[in-house]
Amino acid sequence: MDIVPAKRSKRKTEAHESPKMSILFVASEAVPFAKEGGLGDVVGTLPKFLHAMGHDVRIVIPRYYRVDKEKYGLKMIAGPMGVWMGVIGMMWCAVYEARLPGSGVPVYFIEHENFFGRDSGLYSKDGKGFLDNDNRFVFLSRAALELCKTLFFKPDVIHVHDWHTAIVPVFLNTAYRYEPLLGDSATLLTIHNMQHQGDFYRGLMDVLDIGREHFNPRGLEFYGRTNLLKGGLYHATLLNAVSPTYSQEIRTPAHDWRLGGVLRERASDLYGILNGVDYEEWDPETDRLIAANYSESDLSDKAICKQDLQKEFKLHERPEVPVIGMVSRLVRQKGIDILAGAIHRMMSWDVQFVLLGNGEPWAHHFFSDLCSKYPGRFGCYIGYSNPLAHKIEAGSDFFLMPSRFEPCGLNQMFSLRYGAVPIVRAVGGLNDTVENYDDQTGDGTGFKFNDPTPEAIIGTTGWAVHLYYNRREAIEGIVRRGMRKRFTWEGSAKKYEELYLRAVKKRIGDARFNERFK
């Protein structure tokens, strides 16, 4: 059968004339189908913007149990499709297709009951990671490549995300190097979080079946184990992190999780592109999940949202008291243990605090207990709720993110738009998106602190609360400046497009690049 040229989207932005590429996203999550964190937001949003620019972009994710076939109109398009798993042998999957809602982007779902048919979290159950996460995501990665062959789809670029799919670039340089459809594909590995690396036992090499010679320090070997992220960092054509600051931080011991050496080696191929915000979802002027809509030119109805939030969390309905909000995975990364050391001092002020999140069990108990300790002043919901996340952004005066590290962070960008002044630690994407308030000039969009300590949280939040009570006009200026800021996906998608082109050129060379896109 002939190789069918990839279909191109007809929708183009007018002034946009750069070459149109075929781009395959391979990832472990994508909104609205399955999400545990910001990774899912990025994978479910960026492709829509690339599609609108005229690229043929498609997504591969697992068909988790929670992906409702009827609701999203999934149709089976292939199967049984064989996926070689080395010593385990051939394993089989079915493939379903749907469209990313609100766009024409095809999404392919890899269905394999044993791996993905679990009624649980995507990676764990009751806080315990699945013991077969190695096989689950190696299977997904290899299935995505097999699917390209099945569909005769020839991607110019395969864009992979974090450790789950970091093995794809390794496969393309080994087992698939001479596949006519795939050997030329460039790869971009986006680092959303270096902490999680897919660090597994040595024997995983026999499942990968790419040759033992790749088990070496400049390949997959990492302290005697098989590290999938490390393999991807060495093999991907290009790399990027989800903010400029994080792309620098991960080259240093404080943030490199022991992989700084690889990143320093690949420094000239490592970029930083800030995530965008989906303003169709997150805009107080149009948001349907909040009690009233408001804008920077008329903030009066934000008070209705504040009252609604106070009601929702059973707080005293006092308009004059500052509400500090937080929406977060309750894990060490987010600095919640540091917050735990600061919260009693903060609650000694006349403030209210609202927290939404889930994660480590100790934190569930600790923060739930604060509701009875500070009735009417501390509100907490342990769990996941998108409507509540919107209400907190709209109803809060301040939004706290004391992260130990934050590759990008989305909530501080939502907060700016909603006029909930961010108070953040100056790391990663938080540093890139929030401008510290300058008392001399009156400039700034939020408050930043450097040290990961309770004292720093208390000091900076205390300063913000002081301004709220004593110099409200300063806070109002910060709110308005923040609301005017935009972190659009259009801007970030343009940067990704440049990176894809650079990657393709690097993979196939200038001459073939010119031939391909003439």
| Burial of 140 from C-beta contacts in 10 A (0-12 / 13-18 / 19+) | buried
The site partner of 327 among ligand ADP, ligand GLC, none (C-beta below 5 to 8 Å per kind) is ligand ADP
Question: To which H or E segment does residue 188 belong?
Answer: strand 186-191
Which of 92, 23, 90, 35 has the alpha carbon at shortest distance from 61? 35
**Minimum distance of ligand ADP from residue 311's CB (angstroms):** 19
CB 228 within 8 A of CB 184: no
Quote the crossing angle between the two packed helices 454-470 and 472-484, to the nearest 10°.
110
Q: Among 24, 30, 42, 110, indicate the residue that binds ligand GLC (CB under 6 A).
A: 42
Which residues contact residue 14 at a Cβ distance below 8 angstroms, ignoring those fewer than 6 apart? Answer: none
Strand, helix or coil at 364? helix
Q: Among 198, 276, 407, 446, indicate the residue that binds ligand GLC (CB under 6 A).
A: 407
| Per-position x/- string for 86-125, each x denoting binding to ligand GLC as judged by CB under 6 A, each - no binding | ----------------------------------------
Q: Which is nearer to ligand GLC, 233 or 351 (CB)?
A: 233
Is 408 a binder of ligand GLC (CB under 6 A)? yes
Residue nearest to ligand GLC (CB): 38
Q: Which is nearer to ligand ADP, 46 or 148 (CB)?
A: 46
How many amino acids of this chain bind ligand ADP (CB under 6 A)?
A: 18
Peptide bond into 319 cis (omega under 30): no
Is 395 a binder of ligand GLC (CB under 6 A)? no
Residue 321 C-alpha from the chain's centroid: 33
Is 165 a binder of ligand ADP (CB under 6 A)? no
Q: Which is nearer to ligand GLC, 173 or 445 (CB)?
A: 445
Residue-by-residue DSSP string for 294-341? -BTTB-TTHHHHHHHHHHHTT----TTS-EEEEEEEESGGGTHHHHHT
**Minimum distance of ligand ADP from residue 193's CB (angstroms):** 7
250-289: contacts with ligand GLC (CB under 6 A): 275
Is 506 a binder of ligand ADP (CB under 6 A)? no
Residue 484: left (phi > 0), alpha (psi -120 to 50), or beta? Answer: alpha
The site partner of 242 among ligand ADP, ligand GLC, none (C-beta below 5 to 8 Å per kind) is ligand GLC
Is 41 a binder of ligand ADP (CB under 6 A)? yes
CB 369 within 8 A of CB 267: no
Q: Which is nearer to ligand ADP, 108 or 414 (CB)?
A: 414
Q: Which is nearer to ligand GLC, 170 or 430 (CB)?
A: 430
| Per-position x/- string for 479-508, each x denoting binding to ligand GLC as judged by CB under 6 A, each - no binding | ------------------------------
Q: Among 195, 295, 368, 385, indicate the residue that binds ligand ADP (CB under 6 A).
A: 385
Q: Which is nearer to ligand GLC, 173 or 492 (CB)?
A: 492
Is 37 a binder of ligand ADP (CB under 6 A)? yes
Give the span between the Cα atoms of 258 and 199, in whole angstroms: 12
| Per-position x/- string for 11-40, each x denoting binding to ligand GLC as judged by CB under 6 A, each - no binding | --------------------------xxx-
| Per-position x/- string for 293-322, each x denoting binding to ligand ADP as judged by CB under 6 A, each - no binding | ------------------------------
Which of 398, 405, 408 has the alpha carbon at shortest distance from 479? 398
Q: Which is nearer to ligand ADP, 32 or 37 (CB)?
A: 37
Is 411 a binder of ligand ADP (CB under 6 A)? yes
- 304-311: long-range contacts, CB 8 A cutoff, minimum separation 24: 305/391, 305/394, 305/395, 306/395, 306/396, 306/397, 307/395, 308/391, 308/394, 308/395, 309/354, 309/391, 309/392, 309/394, 309/395, 309/396, 310/352, 310/379, 310/395
How many amino acids of this chain bind ligand GLC (CB under 6 A)?
A: 14
167-206: contacts with ligand GLC (CB under 6 A): 192-193
* DSSP code, position 237: S
Q: Which is nearer to ligand ADP, 409 or 454 (CB)?
A: 409
Is 242 a binder of ligand GLC (CB under 6 A)? yes
**Minimum distance of ligand GLC from residue 164's CB (angstroms):** 12
Give the span between the Cα atoms of 340 and 324, in whole angstroms: 15
Q: Among 146, 269, 337, 406, indicate the residue that binds ligand GLC (CB under 6 A).
A: 406
Give the span between the Cα atoms of 430 and 436, in whole angstroms: 11
Handedness of CA 107, 103, 513, 244 (dihedral sign): negative
Tokens of 446: 């939020």
Tokens of 149: 């062959």
CB 68 within 8 A of CB 57: no
CB 26 within 8 A of CB 140: yes
The site partner of 385 among ligand GLC, ligand ADP, none (C-beta below 5 to 8 Å per kind) is ligand ADP
336-365: contacts with ligand ADP (CB under 6 A): 356-358
Is 322 a binder of ligand GLC (CB under 6 A)? no
Q: Which is nearer to ligand GLC, 83 or 238 (CB)?
A: 238
Which residues contact residue 4 at a Cβ distance below 8 angstroms, ignoring those fewer than 6 apart? Answer: 152
Interface residues toward ligand ADP, by CB under 6 A? 37-39, 41, 327-329, 356-358, 384-386, 389, 408-411
Interface residues toward ligand GLC, by CB under 6 A? 37-39, 42, 192-193, 242, 275, 406-410, 429
